Amino acid sequence: MTDLQTLAVPAVVDRASELLARMTLEEKLAQIVGFWEKGDGEVVAPLQGEFTREQTLDESTQHGLGHLTRVYGTRPVDAAERAQWLWNLQRRLVRETRLGIPALVHEECLTGLSAWRAATFPTPLAWGASFDPDLVEQMGAAIGGSMRTLGIHQGLAPVLDVIRDPRWGRVDECISEDPYVVGTVGTSYVRGLQSTGVHATLKHFVGYSGSQSGRNFAPVHAGPREVEDVLLVPFEMALLDGGARSVMSSYNEIDGVPVAADPRVLTGILRDRWGFDGPVVADYFGVAFLHLLHEVAGDLGEAAGLALAAGVDIELPTGDAYLTPLAEAVRAGRVDEALVDRAVLRALRQKEELGLLDATFDDEPPASVDLDSPLHRGLAAQLAEESVVLLSNDGTLPLVSPARIAVIGPNADRAEALFGCYSFLNHVLAHHPEVEVGFESPTVRQALAAELPNAEIVSALGCAVDDDDRSGFEEAVRAATSAETAVLVVGDHAGLFGRGTVGEGCDRDDLELPGVQRELVEAVLASGTPVVLVLLTGRPYAIDWAVERCAAVVQAFFPGEEGGTALAGVLSGRVNPSGHLPVSLPRSAGAQPFTYLHPKLGGNGDVTNLRSTPALPFGHGLSYTTFVHSDLEVDAQVPTDGHIGASVRVTNTGGRPGADVVQLYVHDVVGSVTRPVAQLVGYRRVHLEAGESALVTFSVPTTRLAFSDRDLVRVVEPGEVELWVGPSCAERETEARTSLTGPVHTVGVDSPRWTAVSVTD
């Protein structure tokens, strides 16, 4: 039953409430749906073709309009011309509808504004590899600036799903397998985007990445402790610390209950516990999926009632359930209109917060706009450089004055290989092959030729990303044999719904390189020429064999428009690699799902004949210099509701400048429930000149060690804690211990969630 008292319009009538009181049912429903102007073949959302009844723009705006869906990101349009169209439409809504309320414009912005000719940054997995939240915040601000200029109010990013299984296709949209890294980096993106007046949207709330067998949309079997201690943590940080103003509900079900119909999640956790007062938007078609896919609703009207009751305020991208089906259900008494009023009030208050209730659009839109400015490219270059991970190196890298290099492989000379699933190039331009990309994005081959002008570059394709054609192997081997070094560039092609090897709806049964790429690598290795393997991927692959046999292995997670140049810089030595793995490098698909945050029995041991540990651990990353961590000191005793003080010295013991990611891990020695063998509680990028040393000081809130006890209450327990710093989660270079003392501490929403870190000479 609906609690009418909790849904009633407040006694103190604010502007949004006053507007609500004047609205007809049709005007209310218009404010909680989107309109999407799209054409046939422009499939950028799941089951998009199932929804054939589409209203015209005139029909959709006669009673007002809540959201305009993807004005710039549905097809390649000139940004200035489209802005003029948008301003005209907004003026029409202001001047010709009864209440004069403009539409809120939302757009995708995961790797940059999704618009033709807009800068495309590295994918979120690369953000995680950089371990640089400050730089991600700057990137978010640059993206938000472009959006604000074009009249966009809300961005559908960041993705805060914690990676649980690399077979899942949407791994390239995620930041890390560590919830703290996801939370800190994702919150920084929120802060950057919202500093420009554009609202960030956290997605996908919650559990989407924990799907069965890594399948898109598959059921999630996570227990309540995993949901609380892993999957919810980044959302809590981004909401309570970052002030994110919008949340997107996820497609998945958890233990049989679809999230979009679960008030315990969308109201109980999100609003009652965390105090969130902004709107919840549906993932595209997610309300209709309650009827079509989950089958918990008999029709779209019932689906609308379930979603509204759970707390989904806005149906996106269109009003398939929240318009005619919901109107009929309300008038028939099957859905309480008070639920509609609650959602409309949240939608109107968001518009008021964004200044839309006062907007007249009497000004003129920008006559021209540079969406790929030097500022954008500079940030894209820095983030790309910081995110490249050197996995292994026998001394072949950097390439010093090479005379002849063979650049081989399906991703060596393919610009699309630099970009993720939600990049405009792979997301939209894939449907418009006749349209130019609209900005410079040098391939690895092109960038390496520019980087090493005195070297002769010979190239060969070898094979495609994902077919079984081996006819190019012979040419690739000849090219390698003729060269001093073979740079072999392999990996993924990002796409959607089966059109790629990674991306939304592009899941994997195995974690071998797609197609016949491993065979190509084996053939080139057999030539005897040293092989530098470069991976341009959206997920980690099982390449332990390559790490053991190649002269060097370089990992780049879709590094964006400046990615080719960044990789060339790493190969030449102009850039000293400083990225670290934000995910474990898997040994096999059979060991999945795996996370470094496993209890003792989740690792290797005598109780099984199979190895569980990854080929390379979370946090791993090499450099062209060396770093030593020493003299870890921690407080001997800390109250359970206090902060652990820790300091460690990091020294660049090599011969060139470089950046290290100092990683502080803990292990709770005895817990009332099983605890991870390692848990990252603090990190910091530190740049040091050759021979330079710095003291890194951490202040770790004990709540970083909190977990849900047997009663599912988040607590910090007294007891012994091991701490260490090392080059990854798996290596204890310098260690210490502390004791948490006092009573069990119950963690509340006002508890600190961030580790403070400082660096001194």
Using CA atoms, how far apart are residues 157 and 23, in angstroms rounded to an integer?
31
Q: Determine the pLDDT at residue 613.
A: 87
Q: What is the pLDDT of residues 338-385, one digit of tens each?
A: 999 999 999 999 999 999 999 999 999 999 999 999 999 999 999 999
Count the Cβ atoms, other than its own, within 10 Å of residue 56.
10
Question: How many domains does the chain contain in total?
Answer: 2
Percent of residues, the chain, with pLDDT higher than 70: 96
Q: Determine the pLDDT at residue 593.
A: 93
Q: Determine the pLDDT at residue 51.
A: 59
Q: Do 638 and 693 belong to one domain?
A: yes
* 641 falls within a domain: yes
Q: Do 400 and 531 belong to one domain?
A: yes
Q: Do 444 and 574 belong to one domain?
A: yes
- pLDDT classification of 554: cutoffs 50, 70, 90: very high
Q: What CATH number has the domain bearing residue 439?
A: 3.40.50.1700
* 439 falls within a domain: yes
Are the C-beta atoms of residues 426 and 600 closer than 8 Å to each other? no
Q: What CATH number has the domain bearing residue 645?
A: 2.60.40.10
Q: Do 501 and 391 belong to one domain?
A: yes
Mean of all residue pLDDT scores within the chain:
95
pLDDT for 98 beyond 60: yes
* 123 falls within a domain: no
Q: What is the DSSP string of 109-142?
A: -BTB--STT---PPPHHHHHHHT-HHHHHHHHHH
Q: What is the pLDDT of residues 432-478, one digit of tens each?
A: 999 999 999 999 999 999 999 999 999 999 999 999 999 999 999 99
Q: Do 403 and 509 belong to one domain?
A: yes
Using CA atoms, how far apart are residues 756 and 699, in angstroms rounded to an integer?
5
* 104 falls within a domain: no
Phi, psi of 738 (to 5 degrees): -145, 165
Q: Do 478 and 534 belong to one domain?
A: yes
Q: Do 457 and 557 belong to one domain?
A: yes
Q: Determine the pLDDT at residue 2.
A: 40
Using CA atoms, how far apart are residues 370 and 113, in angstroms rounded to an integer?
12
Q: Determine the pLDDT at residue 612.
A: 82
Q: State whether the Cα torsion 533-538-541-547 is positive or negative.
A: positive
Q: Determine the pLDDT at residue 3.
A: 45
pLDDT for 714 beyond 60: yes
- Decide which of 582, 613, 648 is a domain's last residue: 582
- pLDDT classification of 38: cutoffs 50, 70, 90: confident
- Decide which of 550, 582, 614 is a domain's last residue: 582
* 443 falls within a domain: yes
Percent of residues, the chain, with pLDDT higher than 90: 93
- Chain Cα centroid distance, residue 725: 26
Q: Do 521 and 645 belong to one domain?
A: no
Tell me which residue range forms the domain holding 725: 627-760
* 478 falls within a domain: yes
* 298 falls within a domain: no
Q: Do 504 and 649 belong to one domain?
A: no
Q: Do 569 and 648 belong to one domain?
A: no
* 39 falls within a domain: no
Least confident among 37-41, 201-205, 556-560 = 37-41
- pLDDT classification of 53: cutoffs 50, 70, 90: low
Using CA atoms, how far apart are residues 516 and 490, in angstroms rounded to an integer?
10
